[in-house]
């Protein structure tokens, strides 16, 4: 029976990912099979999890997924020795209005699955107050059980002792304390961590994190605090329909934001997936019946994409007879132009009239519920799709017909509707699941 834990924190940027990767690799080095999950809508962390464990990691999301779907996804850990679910933002952070099975908060997953929480606490600039924060998180929701804490970025032995004593006084276990260690810092960019596949030294970085954490954290005590139980498979599977039988999927450093559970659901439904690289000037598989361009970082590669005439003409030829869909970055590339951070406009594929700019940055972030006004690959008009939007690009022009009526998590109608023209469709939100 796997030992299961949730890794969370009071806020973002405290060290959840680093601790998750370090624990996973340290236990793997001890001969244990480790399965990771990511709570919430994140495309980058699961790839780091896979690098640390050698097993694919998937997202679980209480706002977009029902309990059966979440149970189905976590059942992949049935043969693991240790299961770790990395949270997003702070432990209780979610949206104001409840979704399918919760608000998207990490605490929803901890309560639903009965997995204890290990908190990463950064006591920088404080001492005993860190214990008050931990106590508040422990007591805020009775059904969420706190296993203990790991202190991160402690300033000195004296600082550590003050925090440890305060936590001990209120009965909260301290599994370890990590001094500052620049060698295990993960690089970031505007949408989060630099992707694992872009870091040739990722294995060495995770090894160093594992060594450092094993030196300062009682790994045995952390394991003893975990819940023991075997995840049970769920019969209903995933609420995701494949966009076609043979799917040409753009896949490279510019197009990498696709949820692993989506690809697994497509394959489980019998679909075949072939990948191609727009950055390498490749075109979709001619035998495919649909092309899918996921999100990523096209704004960082706009000049190269614009120069790849074979890719652009090949995609346009494909779209003359077959559907092409783009999500977020993929949507931008289906448009007419993309202006980069320096204000230079680059010609895109022109399958849609969309014009976007990364020079005029404004963060767009949040869950989305879309009701389709027209078909898109895999879904008919009237379908209700749950997804998430996160980007900094702005729309300069969007002349095409709307694809959907889109609401945020609170029910407010969004101005961004996606668009459609001919066989091309696109949205700024990433699909997570369909309401059924």
The radius of gyration of the chain's CA atoms, rounded to the nearest angstrom, is 22
Q: Can you tell me the distance from the alpha carbon of 315 to that of 395, in angstroms, rounded to the nearest whole number? A: 22
Q: Kindly list the averaged pLDDT for each block of 10 residues, start to end, along the chain of length 436.
A: 96 94 97 98 90 96 95 93 97 97 98 97 97 98 98 96 98 96 54 49 89 96 90 66 96 92 93 98 97 95 97 98 98 97 96 94 91 97 96 94 97 96 97 89
> Residue 272: CB partners within 8 Å, gap ≥ 6?
245, 246, 247
Residue 333: predicted pLDDT: 98
Residue 191: predicted pLDDT: 43
Which residue among the candidates 70, 263, 328, 409 is catalytic per the annotation?
328
Active-site residue 328, yes or no?
yes
Residue 192: predicted pLDDT: 43
pTM for the predicted model, two decimal places: 0.93
Which among 107, 8, 35, 108 has a CA at the least distance from the CA of 67?
A: 108
CB 306 within 8 A of CB 341: no
Strands 355-357 and 337-339: parallel
CB 384 within 8 A of CB 71: no
> Residue 318: CB partners within 8 Å, gap ≥ 6?
248, 283, 284, 286, 288, 291, 324
Q: Can you tell me the distance from the alpha carbon of 257 to that of 250, in angstroms, rounded to the nearest whole number? A: 10
Residue 193: predicted pLDDT: 44
């Amino acid at each position: 029976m796997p030992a299961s834990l949730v890794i969370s924190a009071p806020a973002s940027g405290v060290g959840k990912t680093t601790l998750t990767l370090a624990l996973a690799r340290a236990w793997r080095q001890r001969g244990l099979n480790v399965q990771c999950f990511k709570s919430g809508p994140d495309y980058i962390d699961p790839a780091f999890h896979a690098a640390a464990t050698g097993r694919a990691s998937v997202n679980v999301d209480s706002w977009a997924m029902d309990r059966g779907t979440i149970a189905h996804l976590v059942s992949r850990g049935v043969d693991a020795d240790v299961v770790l679910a990395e949270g997003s933002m702070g432990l209780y952070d979610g949206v104001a209005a409840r979704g399918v099975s919760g608000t998207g908060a990490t605490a929803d997953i901890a309560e639903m699955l009965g997995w204890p929480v290990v908190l990463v606490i950064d006591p920088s600039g404080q001492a005993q107050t860190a214990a008050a924060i931990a106590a508040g998180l422990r007591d805020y929701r009775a059904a969420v059980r706190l296993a203990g804490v790991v202190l991160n970025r402690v300033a000195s032995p004296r600082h550590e002792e003050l925090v440890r004593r305060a936590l001990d006084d209120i009965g909260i276990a301290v599994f370890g304390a990590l001094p500052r260690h620049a060698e295990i810092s993960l690089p970031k960019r505007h949408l989060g961590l630099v992707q694992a596949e872009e870091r040739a030294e990722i294995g060495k970085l995770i090894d160093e994190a594992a060594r450092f954490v094993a030196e300062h954290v009682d790994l045995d005590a952390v394991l003893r605090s975990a819940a023991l139980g075997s995840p049970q498979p769920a019969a209903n599977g995933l609420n995701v329909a494949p966009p076609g039988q043979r799917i040409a999927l753009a896949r490279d450093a510019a197009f990498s934001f696709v949820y692993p559970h989506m690809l697994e659901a497509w394959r489980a439904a019998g679909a075949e997936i072939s990948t191609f690289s727009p950055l390498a000037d490749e075109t979709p598989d001619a035998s495919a019946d649909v092309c899918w361009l996921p999100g990523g970082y096209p704004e960082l590669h706009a000049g190269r994409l614009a120069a790849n005439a074979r890719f652009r003409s090949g995609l346009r030829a494909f779209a003359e007879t077959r559907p092409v869909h783009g999500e977020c970055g993929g949507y931008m590339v289906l448009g007419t132009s993309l202006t980069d951070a320096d204000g230079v406009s680059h010609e895109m594929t022109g399958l849609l009239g969309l014009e976007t700019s990364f020079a005029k940055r404004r963060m767009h972030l949040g869950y989305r519920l879309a009701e389709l006004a027209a078909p898109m690959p895999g879904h008919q008009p009237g379908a209700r799709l749950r997804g998430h939007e996160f980007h900094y690009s702005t729309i300069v022009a969007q002349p095409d017909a709307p694809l959907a009526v889109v609401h945020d998590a609170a029910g407010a109608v969004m101005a961004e509707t996606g668009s459609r023209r001919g066989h091309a469709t696109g949205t700024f939100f990433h699909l997570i699941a369909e309401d059924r």
